[in-house]
């Protein structure tokens, strides 16, 4: 991923995502390697201070918005759509 801090600041300032989506996406970006992130919601629950339900709902909403894609290679493996993050970054610069 090009610039994690640039994307994270854009995500934090965006009104496009809910608080839960923002928190989960930030964790996905932190765990990212080559735009792939292995994220076990049960293991990160305490780190994020969110319930299992909130984490799963946020993941499903991020998938529906096209920001992440679940890979069938391994359970809880997600690909980050960098084009969507670029779009959020551009939106944050227009504000």
Tokens 């069938």 correspond to what residue? 72
Please give the pLDDT value at position 59: 94
Number of domains in the chain: 1
Phi (first) and psi of residue 38, to 5 degrees: -100, 115
Please give the pLDDT value at position 95: 56
Whether the CB-CB separation of 31 and 39 falls below 8 Å is answered with yes
Measured from the Cβ of residue 3, the count of other Cβ atoms closer than 10 Å reads: 11
Mean per-residue pLDDT, 4-30: 91
Range of the domain at 34: 4-94
Enter the DSSP assignment of 81: -
Whether the CB-CB separation of 17 and 24 falls below 8 Å is answered with no
Whether the CB-CB separation of 21 and 62 falls below 8 Å is answered with yes
| Residue 80, H or E segment | strand 77-80
Whether the CB-CB separation of 70 and 78 falls below 8 Å is answered with yes
pTM: 0.89
Tens-place pLDDT, residues 44-81: 888 888 998 999 999 999 999 999 999 988 888 999 99
CATH of the domain at 70: 1.10.10.10
């Amino acid at each position: 991923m090009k610039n994690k801090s640039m994307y994270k600041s854009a995500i934090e300032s965006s009104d496009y995502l809910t608080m839960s989506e923002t928190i989960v996406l930030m964790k996905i970006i932190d765990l990212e390697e080559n735009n792939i992130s292995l994220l076990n919601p049960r293991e990160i629950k305490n780190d994020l201070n969110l319930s299992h339900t909130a984490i799963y709902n946020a993941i499903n909403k991020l998938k529906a918005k096209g920001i992440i894609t679940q890979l069938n290679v391994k359970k809880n493996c997600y690909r980050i759509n960098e084009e969507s993050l670029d779009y959020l970054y551009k939106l944050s610069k227009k504000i």
